[in-house]
Structure 1
Amino acid sequence: MILRGKLMKYCLNIGLALALSSAPLFGQRPEALKEIGIDHPTLLKSREIFPMNIDSAYHYLKAAQKDISQENLKIQSAYYAYLADAEIHRGKLNLARAYLDFSKNLLDSTANPLLFAHNQYYEALYLRESQQLPAAISAALIALRVFENHQDSSWIALSNRLASGIFYLQGNLEDALAYLERSIAINNALNLESELAADFHNKALILVIQGNVEESFSLLQKAKNLNLKNHNLGWLGRNYHALAYHYQREDYSKCEQYIDSASSTYRQIPDLGALINLKFFEARLKVRQGFYKRADSILESIREMSTDELFLIKAAEYYQVKAHLKAHLEKWEEAFNLQNRYLSIQDSLDHLEHQAALEIYKTLHNSIIERDKLEKESEHLQYLNSKQRYIAIYVSVLLILGALFIYQLYRNQRLKGRQLERERNTFQRDLEFRDQELSAIALNQAEEAQWKQSIMARLEDEIQKPGPVKADSLKKMLADLRRSANSKNQWEEFEMRFKRVHPSFYDKLQGLAPDLSPAELKICALLRLNLSTKEIAALLHKSVKGLEVDRARIRKKLGLTHSKENLTKFILSI
C-alpha cells in the first residue's frame, strides 16, 4: 500500500498533468458550442479534432485564420479563445495570454452573456495553468453562474469540472469532489459517456489522495472501458498513462504493460507530444530501476522521433533527465554540463514565447486599425473617431515599441550568452579529441613494444638452438631491436603532447604526492588516459604483476591505502 503522503505528492506532481490539465478536451462537442451561438464549421471541426490530436486542431485553426478574419466579432472572439486553449495545452502560456486578450478586445460582455461566460471559462483555464489559483476559481465560478442562469447543462458540467480541478490544486479536496459530483450527475443524466469517462478519471485522482486506492483504481478502469467503447483515444492514452503511474512502485511488470498500451494509443492518434511525455516517464522509471543503458536509449529515441520544433520545446526536459542519468552514473562533470544546458534552453524557450507574444500584440494592433477603417463607413463614425480611442491606440503603439526595444536588448544578451556557450563546448570537444589522440598514441606504442618483445624472444630462441646459426648477425639484430624498444624518443614526444593537453596535471599530482618518482608519474599519466593495466604494462615493458605493485606504491603515496576509491577514478578527477 502506498503511503498517503506519497500519494498526495504523486497526484499533485503527476496526476494533474495527465487529467486535470486536460479537463476541457472532451467538452467541446458541436452541440455544446451551438448552444452558445458558435456554429462556424471551422470552429466546430477543430473542437472535434482537439481531443484526438491537439497539434492537428491547432494547425487546422491557424490555416483558417484568413477566412475567420472575415467573420463577425463573435466568431473571431471564439476563434482566438480556442487558439489560447491550444497554447495552454501546448504549455505556451505567454501566447495563450495574448490570444485571450485578443479575444476579449473583440467581445462585448453585455451583448452576449453566454459568450462572456465562454471567455471567462478559458480565462480560468489560463489562470489555473499559470498558478493564479484564487483568480482562476473566481473566473470559473463566474462562468458557472452565467451558464446556470441560462440553464446550459453541457457548460454547467464543464464549469463544475473546471472548478473541481482548481479546488484540487488548492488542496481543497472536499469542494473538489463536490463540484465534480455535480458534473458527474449532469453527464450521467445526459448519458454522455465520454464526459463521464473524464469525470471518473479525475475523481480517481481525488480518491487516491483520500486513501481510497481501491475505488480510485476501479474508477480508472471504468474510465478506460468507456473510452475503449467510445474510441476516445485522447483520454484512453491518459488512462493507460495514469495506470502506469499507479503501478510504478508496486508492480513494474504491469506498469510496463500500461506504458506499452499508452504508447500504442498515442501512436495511433497520433499524439507525438503525449508520446514523448510518456517516454520521459519511462526513462525516469528506468533510471530509478538502475537500467541506465535502457534509460539512455529511450532518451535518444525521444531525440530521434521529435520534430525540430517539438524537440526545441522538449529539449529542456531532455537535458534535465539526461543530467539525472549521468548523476546516477557518477559522471559529475557531464551531469553539471547537461544541467547548465537545461537551464540555458529553459531561458531560450521563455525568450521565444515572449517574442511570439510580441508578434501577436502587433497583429492585435494592426487588426484594430484595420477594423477602424472599415467602421468609418458606418453610421457610428463620429463615436469611433473620439479622442479616447486615438489616445488608446497611441498608448498601445508606445507599449508595443517599448516592448520591442526591451526584447532587442534581451536578444543581444542572449546572443552573447550563446556565443560563450558555443566556445565552451568547442573547447570541451577539442580537449576530448586530444585525449583520444593521446590514448591512440599510447596504445600504438604499447602494441609496437609488444611486437618488438615478441621478436626479441624469438631471436633469443634462435641463438640458443644448436647448429650453424649466424649468431653474430642475429645478435646484432637483437641489439638493434633492444635499442629501438628502449628508445626514449617516442615517450618524450608523447609526454610533450600530454603536457600540452593537461598542462597542470603533473603540478597538481606532485602537490598531492611530492615524492612520486618519474616512473610513477609516467604510470599516472597513462592512467589519466584511462588505459588498462595490461596496456600500461605492455607500454612500459613490465609484467602485469609488477605494474600492480607499482600501483599499490602510488596509492600509498597518494594516501589511498585505506580508501576504497579506485585509483584510476581518483587520477581522472585531478
Structure 2
Amino acid sequence: MNRLSVIRPFLLLLCVLSYDVAWPQNQKARADSALITGYLLKAEAAEADTAIRLYNTAIRAAEKRLREGGSKAYKDAVMRKLIRARLGLGLVYYNRIEYSKALDLNRRALKEAGDLGDTALEAESYFNIAEVYLEQSQFKNAMDFYNLSLSGYEKLKDNLSQFWCYTGMGIVQKQCGNFKDAAAFYNKALQQARSSGLSYEEAICYNNLGNVYRKTGDFANAMESYQKAVEVFRKLNDETAISDCLNNIGNLYIDNGDPFRALEYYRQSLKLAEKSKDEYRLIIRYKNLAGAYTELKDYENALLYLEDALKLAEKSGDKSFLASCNMQFGKLHEAKNDFIIASAFFRKSVNLYAAIDALPEQSEALVELANSLLSQNLVDEAISNADEALLIAEATGSLKGRLDACLCLAGCYEKDGNSLRAYHYLKSATALKDSIYTVEKYRTIEEIEAGFAKSELKKENEALIQNSLLQKQALRTKNVILMLLGISLLLGIALIWMVFRRINEAKHQAGVIRQQSDEKIGRLSEDLISKERELTSKTIFINQKNQLLEKLIGELDELKKSEVSAQSIQHLQLQLRQELAPNAWKEFEIQFNEVHPGFQGRLLENYPELTPAERRLCSFIRLDMNTREISSLSGQSIKSIEVARTRIRKKLGVPHEQNLTNFIAVI
C-alpha cells in the first residue's frame, strides 16, 4: 500500500522549511546538514536498493553529527533528519514486505520523535507502525496506533493525514468483519477528502466502499463505487490504484459466478502490478488468477499462479496471505476431488484466519471445510463447522457468508436424512439469495459497467456493450439468422442435388467404361485362348515332326551297317540334325512370345547368366511341360534335360524344396 508515500513528501517539505531558522551560523554544520538533506531527497526518488543505501548513509551521517554535539537547535534539526531517514527506510522495507525491519525502524523513530516532542513526526511514526501491524493482520494493535496517529493529526489540523487514518481504520474493521464500522470510517475519510478537494483520496474511498459493499452482497453499489474510483485514477494515470480497482471488479465477477469475465480483469490488474514490481499486490493477483483458473477447471495454470503467490506470501510472513493461499490450494484440490488434502488446507486456513481475527474470511474457510468434509461423508463434523461459519457471518453482517453457510447446512442435513432441518436452511438460503441476487441488482450492475466503457474502460467492457446491443436488437437478429438459415438450407439442398447428380453421372460413366473394358478384356481373352491353342498345335506338330526325324535318323543308323556308303549316310544325318531343333525353335519362339510377351526379355534382364539353350528350356517349363515332353521337343536326352534343370535352378537361386515350375510361372 502506498498511503505512507503520499503523506511523507509534505511532511518532509514542512520539516525542511522549519529547519532553516534553527541552522547555526557555522558553515561546516550548515554544509553537513545540507548534505543529509540531499541524501533524503535523493532517496525519495531512488529505486529500493539505492534508497536503502542513501537512507543508511543519511542515518550514519546524522548520528555522527549528533555525537559531535552542537547547539540544541542544531541537534534538534539533525534529530529530525535522522527520524525522517528512519521513517523513509522503514517505508522501503515495508514495500519490500520486510515487516520486522520496518517495524524496528518506525519504533525507533517514534521514541526519538517523542523525546524531541515533535507531534508531526510522532503522528507519522504511529501511522507507519499501524500500517505494518495491519499488513501483519494484528488488527487490535493496528487500530490502537491509527487512533494515536489520528489524535496527533487532529491537533495539527492535517486533513490529508486524518483521511489516511480513517482509511486505515476502515480497512481494519473490514478485515475484522465489522462492515458497518468499516463503512462509517470510509465515509469519514470521504468527508475529509471532499472538504479538502482531494479527488485522488476521494477515489480511494470509493474503492474501499466498493469492497465493503461486495462483502455485504450489495453488488450494484460495489460496481458503482469501483466505477467512480477508476474514472479518477485513470485521469490521474495512477496505475497502482487502477490495478487495485480492476482486481476488485474481477472479485465482483467471481462472486457473480462469471470466472471468464473475472479473468479478463485479473490479467489487466496483474500486468500493472508486475510493471510496478509490487510484491504485496502480486500475491493477491496470483492468488485470484489461480481461483479463476480453478473455476474454469484449468488446474495446470491455477497451480502455477498459486505456487507463485505462496512463495511471496511465505516471504512476507503475512498470516492473512498465507491463509488465503492455503484456502485456494484447498479449493484447487477439492475441484480435483482430492477431498482429504483439500480438508487439510482448509483447516490450516481456518486456523490462520482465527489467529488474526479475520472473521469474514474465517467464516468462508469454515464453509469450504464443511463442504469438503461433507464430500467425505463426515456429516457431523461438517455440520459443526458450517454452524460456526453461520454464527460468524451473522455477527459480521455478511449476507453472502450466511447464504453459503445455509446452503452447506441444507446439504448436510439432507445427507443426514433430516429433511425438516434441510428444508429450513434451504428456505433461509433462498431468501438470502433473493436478497443478494435480484434481477434489479443484476441490471444495475450491467448498466454501471456499461458506464465504464463510456468513460475510460472502453476496451475492458466492449463485451458488455455488445451484449447490450444484442439484447436491443434480439428480434431483428433472430429474423436475420432465420433468413440466413433458410438461404443456407436452400443452398445446401441445391448443393446436395448437384453432388447427387454428379455422382450418378460418374456412376453411369464408370459403368460405360467398365462395360467397354470388359468387352476389351473379353476380346483379348479370346485372342489369348486362340494363341494358346495355336501354340499348343504348333508344339504338337513340332513334337511329331521331331519324332519322325528321330525315327528317320534311327533307320539311317541301321542303313549304315549295310553296303550303302556310310559317309553319305552320315552326311545326311548331320543335315537332318542341324535342321531338327533350330527351325522348330524359331517357329515355337514366335508363337510363345505372342502368348507370353516379355518373358524372354525379363529372363535376359534378371538372369543374364542363362544361356540361350537354358532360356529355351525355361520357356518349355513355363508351358508346364514335363521332362519327357521337353526331351521329345528339343531332341535332347532326358538325362541332359534333368542336368539342365539343375543348372537353371542354381542360376535362378531356387531352393531345392521350392517347385521350379511355380517359380518360373511368376517371372
Structure 2-normalised TM-score? 0.39
Rg bigger for which structure? 2
> Which protein, 1 or 2, shows the higher relative CO under an 8 Å CA cutoff with sep ≥ 6?
1
Which is helix-richer, 1 or 2? 2
Structure 1-normalised TM-score? 0.45
